[in-house]
Structure 1
């Protein structure tokens, strides 16, 4: 189970002067033209016990990939919770801080403000990206993480065409952010999209609940991130995707216990559990009775009626 690191207390976080840093924890200094820096998320978060206190970078922007874990971000007084996989965009001059889930994993790409705006000027579609801090859900992080790895490699050596290669990687990252932001924008049609997504999930659960597949597999098959699927299920069904999967398995288990002569072990196997003992614990946790006791109680109730 992940644990949310303590930090960013609303009552005290903004009472002290907000420090201005170069990179986090480093004294402010001039930013070189074309400055780009990539580092692992835990390089500064782990030593700080997964809490980054509110601070500001005058001339530096962040693109943060959260590949695993999540947390919450405070940006100019607003709080945003996020889960992996996602991108966080933080413009220069924005007071921001983080509370990370323990052992979150990802990459922090930092870009000089003048250099970023030089790139944004090439395409008007990209310009709104850094008007405010935002969290953008991703369908998966592998491609983005691979591209950031290539960017870090380019920055580590001096080869012909380095600047062009660095800009190509940065522009690719921003295009990905732009396209995923467009997919996840909260518009008037969000409710309808979420309802259709949950309907597709229910259909898939009905077809495949006996496979006991994790939520990640369902999200991938539906072409959305786990975060987007969780949000849709919470809004439309009032349940998590995992709870919907468990609910369907329990319904089938109760049907078989009540209307068949299958043993408890056979019921377990019929709905996809490989271990009957684990099935019994699962059923008891959700129903308050063991499968055997539940079957006996329902049988007595039917006989009495």
Structure 2
């Protein structure tokens, strides 16, 4: 697999997608062949600024490169791809498995109950005798994801929580995080996303986040552009836009109520913000869902 310099690595939302997160869901799940065959089974090096991926190779062969570490897959394995990490994949045409993408807000929520989140460092696990258990988890996740039913979001979060606990236990058993080389830039970005999750509704200025991180606003913006492909303000606006979409799709709140819940001073300002980011008014977006 050819190497790509950090400055030329594209930042994608999903494979090849550079627009906003494509769904109000905080989860995206698809089979490895579904996307990879469109790219001749080779996914070029890239990074994601605001999502974590769990890649499950159930059968077949693969070459998985994450942050320069290459793993050759010849048996059922699970690869953790943290946010901001450069990664690229190559698959055999008979590959079977899934790619589970989790938006950072969901990762932060689900990881809060764990003392040490298992998704902040790249890790590779062969499954061995635990393949059956992981198979069942992914099969259930895929079924819930593709066949919407009552309590879908709660069930998905429960299943993914079980998967994260499994990963955390494997990480603890292998003590794999101890060998990771610290990346201060990525650590700053992860702390920024955590602060953003806590404060995005209050429309804090960039200087606030920079001060909390012990950085200058210019340094924070440079880190965001380098690792996430967007400015700090763009990341803040994307988080607000995502929550607005979710409120419009999954709640009965009026547009005015959504505006208030997201800290906008007036509904007209919220509507302009939403249309600028989505291309539709809040009402039109709700009607098309």
1:60 is aligned to 51
CA displacement at 1:27 relative to structure 2: 2.1
Which residue is equivalent to 2:63? 72
User: For the residues of structure 1 that align with 2:172 and 2:153, how far apart are their CA atoms?
Assistant: 28
The correspondence of residues 188-207 of structure 1 with structure 2, limited to 5 A, is none
The verdict on how the C-alpha distance between 1:61 and 1:186 changes in structure 2, with shifts beyond 3 A counting, is closer
**CA deviation vs aligned residue, 1:118-166 (integer Å, no higher than 9, x gap):** 11001214x1x11221111112423322221211222234433222211
Figure out how many residues of one structure are paired with residues of the other and give that number.
177
Over residues 196-253 of structure 1, what are the superposed CA-to-partner deviations in whole Å (9 max), with x where a residue is unaligned? Answer: xxxxxxxxxxxxxxxxxxxxxxxxxxxxxxxxxxxxxxxxxxxxxxxxxxxxxxxxxx
Partners of 1:58 and 1:31 in 2: CA distance: 14
Per the TM alignment, residue 117 of structure 1 is displaced from its structure 2 partner at its CA by 0.8
2:163 corresponds to 1:170: no
Aligned partner of 2:37 in structure 1 is 46
**1:117–1:15 Cα change, 3 Å:** closer
Which residue is 1:9 aligned to?
2
Gap regions ≥5 residues in structure 2? 178-289
**Closer, same or farther: CA 185–72 of 1 in aligned 2, 3 Å:** farther
Provide runs of 4+ in structure 1 moved above 6 Å.
none
**Matched position secondary structure for 1:160:** coil
After superposition, residues 136-285 of structure 1 pair within 5 angstroms as 136-139=125-128, 140-185=130-175
Question: Highest CA radius of gyration, 1 or 2?
Answer: 1
Distance 1:58 1:171 in 2: 22
Give 1:110's aligned residue: 101
Which of the numbers 123, 136, 160 marks the counterpart of 1:134?
123
* Rounded Cα–Cα distance in structure 1 between residues aligned with 2:155 and 2:176: 34
Contact 2:33-2:96 within 8 A present in 1 as well:
yes
Give the direction of change, closer, same or farther, for the CA distance of 1:98–1:181 in structure 2 (3 Å limit).
Answer: same
Closer/same/farther in 2, CA of residues 157 and 69 from structure 1, 3 Å limit: closer
Give the C-alpha shift of residue 31 in structure 1. Answer: 6.5
1:282-297 map, 5 Å: none
Q: Tell me the CA shift for residue 42 of structure 1.
A: 1.0
Q: TM-score, normalised by structure 2?
A: 0.55
CA contact (8 A) 1:31 1:112 kept: no
Partners of 2:148 and 2:71 lie apart in 1 by: 38
Indicate the SS of the match to 1:135: strand
**Separation in 2, partners of 1:54, 1:108:** 16
Query: Does structure 2 retain, via aligned residues, the 8 Å contact 1:90–1:133?
Result: yes
Cα distance per residue 1:147-188 (max 9 Å; x no partner):
21211222234433222211111011112222333444469x
Give the whole-Å Cα distance in 2 for the aligned partners of 1:83 and 1:186. Answer: 21
Q: Quick check: 1:65–1:145 contact (8 Å CA) kept in 2?
A: no
**Aligned-residue offset at 1:76:** 2.4
Contact persistence 2:62–2:91 (CA under 8 A): yes
- Cα distance, 1:15–1:34 mapped onto 2, change above 3 Å: closer
Find the counterpart in structure 1 of residue 76 from structure 2.
85
TM-score by length of 1: 0.52
